[in-house]
Amino acid sequence: LAQLMDSETDMVRQIRALDSDMQTLVYENYNKFISATDTIRKMKNDFRKMEDEMDRLANNMAVITDFSARISATLQDRHERITKLAGVHALLRKLQFLFELPSRLTKCVELGAYGQAVRYQGRAQAVLQQYQHLPSFRAIQDDCHVITARLAQQLRQRFREGGSGAPEQAECVELLLALGEPAGELCEEFLAHARGRLEHELRGLEAELGPSPPAPDILEFTDHGGSGFVGGLCQVAAAYQELFAAQGPEGAEKLAAFARELGGRYFELVERRLAQEQGASDNSLLVRALDRFHRRLRAPGALLAAAGLAEAATEIVERVARERLGHHLQGLRAAFLGCLTDVRQVLAAPRLAGKEGPGLAELLANVASSVLSHIKASLAAVHLFTAKEVSFSNKPYFRGEFCSQGVREGLIVGFIRSMCQTAQSFCDSPGEKGSAPPPALLLLLSRLCLDYETATVSYILTLTDEQFLVQDQSPVTPVSTLCAEARETARRLLTHYVKVQGLVISQMLRKSVETRDWLSTLEPRNVRAVMKRVVEDTTAIDVQVGLLYEEGVRKAQSSDSSKRTFSVYSSSRQQGRYAPSYTPSAPMDTNLLSNIQKLFSERIDVFSPVEFNKVSVLTGIIKISLKTLLECVRLRTFGRFGLQQVQVDCHFLQLYLWRFVADEELVHLLLDEVVASAALRCPDPVPMEPSVVEVICERG
């Protein structure tokens, strides 16, 4: 309770404190209330004054309005009259213009100010049309019609005369159009006129084509064509499009047809002119001409997309480019054939005593360099077609197909192939003895093809690829294929050379065996001349081949085996062999047989492919010759001295032929076989003493 009492006293104390606080607040704010009441009272007074002044202002405004209304009422009248007068004046001026129109028109027509006249007419036309029911206007209109008709006629006259250029004509047409002449007819006529002029240009061009007088060069021609015809066509097209734009697609179609037709004729002329250029050797002029031609046609091309002139022009350029490629290929072929003819002439030319003609190696170098320079010249010439500054070089054809299929495949690969073919064709002409190529030519071509295989083909193709950055993805002949072809050609030529030379020597040997009466021949005193001839010819061939081909590999034994040891060896062999044959008995047979066995254990392929070296070539030739000798000997019958002669001849051959071949054993075997066969074909085989044989042979 005491606590409760405490809190009550506390509360009372707090209430008292609050009471006193409130009293102080009221005292403090009392003054403020007083002053506010004063201010409100003052404001009331001011407002009353203001109201009075506003009323006065309103009165004044009403008075002003009244005044202004009155003024405008008085002015209204006058204004109306002035407007009317102005209208009348304008009308009168128009009327005056109308009345004066016929005379003005006449004057204009007389003065030739057609434009002015047409403008007048245009202005009057509508009014006259509207008021034509009034007789006076009617008269004017009629007059105007007459004059306009005359005007139109004169315009047409001028138009038809066509003497003036395209711009004036265009003006005429414009005026006529303004005079309301039918547009369709006009555009027909316009085109007809344009055609007349353009055809004139074409005729001029055609005259330049003229058959007999040497026409101006192609550049001049295309310039004429470009400025005359193409320029004209451009103007016509531009004017037409300007004038007859309203005609819509039909008109454009007309123009396109027109351009197509004339363009076609122009192209025809250009192509005829280009055809005359076909034989020309200079490409730069042609390319420049084509460039101008193409460039010139791009303008109307843009103007007349529908006529397809630009495409047609591009096509022509492409065609010409193709033809040039063909031309260059022909040129290269002809150059190659020319080289061959030269070589043949040099080879066929009689050798002046003491004065050697150019050697084979020199001839080969000449041919190779001449062919190469021709190829380079051709490449340079066709390269012009792809030059940057030439307007058509960025066409897809020239960037892709032209480079890869045209130049690389068509020209270069084509040429190398055709070269190989030409060369191979020399291998395939049997029989015709008159036209048979000289063996030296075969040899030379073979070396040429081999050189192509080892170096030239890849060089040329690299050169081509560098000059013509081939972007086309179409497949091209790889270098390796061409090289293989060239190698095959070289191989065939060389094999053929061996056959031909082998045949030459074979024929000598064969004739010498066939024509001689071996039964009744005298005791041999000499080596027969034909054998010396064989050795001489073989030596000559050796020299000839040596000029172009490397030595090649021999079997080691022969390099240091001298002539002396060889002859001793061979004679001892002979002795061992013929001794028993005086009295036919078994040993001889076995001896012979074993020899034969030996010979054929390593079969000799007589006509076998040769390798690219001198020794292989000579081996081939000697093999063919000796095998022929063997077969021919087997077909004859020999007397004792006949056999001895064969002995002498064979020994002689042995002495001189071994040095040419890869394996001298081969010569031994074949010659032994010849002597053995002769012995078999002899009813009375008494061989000559080897020493005597040697003496005879050494005596030469």
Partner 1 sequence: MEQARALTPQTAETDAIRFLVGTQSLKYDNQIHIIDFDDENNIINKNVLLHQVGEIWHISASPADKGVLATCYNKTSDSKVLTCAAVWRMPKELESGSHESPDDSSSTTQTLELLCHLDNTAHGNMACVTWEPMGDGKKIISLADNHILLWDLQESSSQAVLASSASLEGKGQLKFTSGRWSPHHNCTQVATANDTTLRGWDTRTMSQIYCIENAHGQLVRDLDFNPNKQYYLASCGDDCRVKFWDTRNVTEPVKTLEEHSHWVWNVRYNHSHDQLVLTGSSDSRVILSNMVSISSEPFGHLVDDDDLSDQEEHHQEEKNKEPLQDSVIATYEEHEDSVYAVDWSSADPWLFASLSYDGRLVVNRVPRALKYHILL
Q: Are 634 and 679 in contact (CB under 8 A)?
A: no
Give the nearest distance from C-beta 313 to partner 1 in angstroms: 49
User: Closer CB to partner 1, residue 105 or residue 666?
Assistant: 666
User: Closer CB to partner 1, residue 179 or residue 592?
Assistant: 592
User: Closer CB to partner 1, residue 269 or residue 679?
Assistant: 679
Report the alpha-carbon distance of residue 600 to residue 425 in Å, rounded: 35
Give the nearest distance from C-beta 207 to partner 1 in angstroms: 52
Report the alpha-carbon distance of residue 365 to residue 587 in Å, rounded: 58
- Region class of 395: left (phi > 0), else alpha (psi between -120 and 50), else beta: beta
User: Closer CB to partner 1, residue 421 or residue 637?
Assistant: 637
Give the nearest distance from C-beta 271 to partner 1 in angstroms: 41
Give the Cβ contact number of residue 591 at 10 Å: 17
Give the nearest distance from C-beta 590 to partner 1 in angstroms: 10
**CB under 8 Å to 482, separation ≥6 — which residues?**
413, 416, 417, 457, 461
User: Closer CB to partner 1, residue 391 or residue 581?
Assistant: 581
Residue 350 DSSP label: P
User: Closer CB to partner 1, residue 3 or residue 520?
Assistant: 520
User: What is the 3-state composition of the chain as percent helix, strand, coil, each rounded to the nearest 5?
Assistant: 80, 0, 20
Give the nearest distance from C-beta 647 to partner 1 in angstroms: 17
| Cβ-based burial of 596 (10 A; exposed 0-12, middle 13-18, buried ≥19) | middle
Give the nearest distance from C-beta 616 to partner 1 in angstroms: 15
Give the Cβ contact number of residue 59 at 10 Å: 8
Give the nearest distance from C-beta 419 to partner 1 in angstroms: 25
User: Closer CB to partner 1, residue 342 or residue 631?
Assistant: 631
Kindly provide the b/e burial profile for residues 473-509, where b requires at least 16 CB atoms within 10 angstroms of the residue's own CB. Answer: eeebbebeebbebbbebbbbbbbbbbbbbbbbbbebb
Report the alpha-carbon distance of residue 9 to residue 6 in Å, rounded: 5
Helix axes 114-130, 166-178, angle to 10 degrees: 10
User: Closer CB to partner 1, residue 211 or residue 431?
Assistant: 431
Token pair for 625: 């010759």
Give the nearest distance from C-beta 322 to partner 1 in angstroms: 35
User: Closer CB to partner 1, residue 461 or residue 610?
Assistant: 610
Footprint of partner 1 on this chain (CB under 8 A)? 430-432, 503, 519-520, 584, 589, 593, 596-597, 599-600, 603, 605-608, 627, 631, 634, 637, 639, 680-683
Helix (H) or strand (E) holding 428: none
User: Closer CB to partner 1, residue 372 or residue 596?
Assistant: 596
**CB under 8 Å to 466, separation ≥6 — which residues?**
none
**CB under 8 Å to 675, separation ≥6 — which residues?**
574, 646, 647, 650
Using alpha carbons, list the distances in angstroms from residue 50 to 53, 155, 230, 287: 5, 86, 93, 103
Helix (H) or strand (E) holding 525: none
SS3 352: strand
**CB under 8 Å to 321, separation ≥6 — which residues?**
382, 385, 397, 398, 402, 406
- Report the half-sphere exposure of 635 (CA within 13 A, side-chain side): 13
Give the nearest distance from C-beta 657 to partner 1 in angstroms: 19
User: Closer CB to partner 1, residue 288 or residue 627?
Assistant: 627
User: Closer CB to partner 1, residue 659 or residue 681?
Assistant: 681
Give the nearest distance from C-beta 560 to partner 1 in angstroms: 32
DSSP state letters, 376-417 = HHHHHHHHGGG-TTSTTTTSHHHHTHIIIIIIIIIIIIHHHH
Report the alpha-carbon distance of residue 656 to residue 625 in Å, rounded: 14
Tell me which residue has tokens 């010979």.
Answer: 599
Give the nearest distance from C-beta 399 to partner 1 in angstroms: 46
User: Closer CB to partner 1, residue 405 or residue 581?
Assistant: 581
- Report the half-sphere exposure of 685 (CA within 13 A, side-chain side): 20
Give the nearest distance from C-beta 679 to partner 1 in angstroms: 10
User: Closer CB to partner 1, residue 451 or residue 631?
Assistant: 631
Give the nearest distance from C-beta 606 to partner 1 in angstroms: 4
* Nearest residue to 684 via CA among 592, 581, 606, 608: 581
Give the nearest distance from C-beta 605 to partner 1 in angstroms: 4
Provide the terminal-to-terminal Cα distance of the chain, rounded to the nearest Å: 178
One-letter amino acid for residue 502 of the chain: G
**CB under 8 Å to 656, separation ≥6 — which residues?**
535, 538, 539
User: Closer CB to partner 1, residue 142 or residue 514?
Assistant: 514
* Nearest residue to 670 via CA among 562, 661, 515, 503: 661
Give the nearest distance from C-beta 609 to partner 1 in angstroms: 10
Give the nearest distance from C-beta 274 to partner 1 in angstroms: 41
User: Closer CB to partner 1, residue 569 or residue 607?
Assistant: 607
